[in-house]
Amino acid sequence: MKNLKTIALTLFVAATTLTASAQNKKINVEKSKITWIGKKVTGQHDGTLNFSSGTLVFDGKKLKGGSFEVDMTSITVADLQAGKGKEKLEGHLKADDFFGVDKFATSTLEFKTIVAKRRRCLYCYC
């Protein structure tokens, strides 16, 4: 009976430690945005998109995963002015031949594995 209590207590402490170590943190969608750059042969354009929601998963201070939902209807072009191609390009990006936002108003990105980028040696590039 004493062993059963010890095992139960150990399992409880282990379960509490596991649930306490992984943290989900929601992004602030009011202060967060995606900045995009689209390149073509004759130049490039840039703009922004808004998040609908997003969560980052941490294990302590280490990022372990997360997911984001993007409001595709919010796509804007920043490098063109109104009346000088801005509306035309935004319409093209929202149309079916590009993102098709009428059918696909949101886009989701989920990442489950984070791998640290390996630094290269400055001398031998190994």
Per-residue pLDDT at 101: 96
> Residue 47 burial (CB < 10 Å; 0-12/13-18/19+)?
buried
Give per-residue pLDDT as tens, 33-88. 999 999 999 999 999 999 999 999 998 888 899 999 999 999 999 999 999 999 99
Name the pLDDT band for 121 (thresholds 50, 70, 90).
low
pLDDT given for residue 19 in this prediction = 47
- pLDDT at position 114: 82
Quickly state the pLDDT bin for 27 (edges 50, 70, 90).
Answer: very high
Decide if 58 contacts 23 (C-beta within 8 A). Answer: yes
Torsion of CA 71, 54, 45, 94, to 10 degrees: -20
The model's pTM: 0.70
Is residue 105 within 8 A of residue 72, CB to CB? The reply is yes
**90-102: buried (b, 16+ CB within 10 Å) or exposed (e) per residue?**
eeebbeeeebebe
